[in-house]
Amino acid sequence: MQGAPLDIYPLWVIVTDYILGVVMWTLIGRAAMNIFLREDSEFFFMKIFVKATNPLLRLFAPITPGFLLDPLVPVYIAWFFFMIRFYLLPWLLGYHVMGLLSFPLESEMARFIYTLYNSFR
């Protein structure tokens, strides 16, 4: 298994990726919760997802196609954050795109799940 992200990347790269990753997954979480709940739901977590992502939806409104269904708009915006993380950051930083689980945030999550799984075996 690959080394820890701090052994591979500088701290500011990890922090930048974590921030972009959390934003991306929050947008995806909002879209997923919207399958089961309305946006104006009183459910605590839905309120958090809506409040956290509404500023991004407004920011990206000028480039969001009008034909998209409202529940899919967060996924469309999350795609931009994915593209930034997967293509733009490595290019700007001089790294190459390493494929699946090359993102520090997701690598750490996968490492945690792997360790947790093996602790129960």
Q: State how far the alpha carbon of 95 is from the alpha carbons of 31, 35, 65, in Å.
A: 31, 37, 32
The single residue listed with the structure tokens 């529940």 is 71
What does the pLDDT read at residue 99? 54
Q: Which residue has the higher pLDDT, 59 or 102?
A: 59
Spatial separation of the C-alpha atoms in residues 12 and 25, rounded to whole Å: 20
**65 token code pair:** 């196609």
Give the domain extent around 9. 5-119
Q: How much is the pLDDT for 2?
A: 55
Per-residue pLDDT tens over the stretch 43-81: 998 999 999 999 999 999 999 999 999 999 999 999 999
Q: What is the mean pLDDT of residues 82-102?
A: 70
Q: Which amino acid is at 38?
A: R
| pTM of the predicted protein model | 0.78
**pLDDT band with cut points at 50, 70 and 90 for residue 91:** confident
Pair 85, 20: CB distance under 8 Å: yes
Domain count within the chain: 1
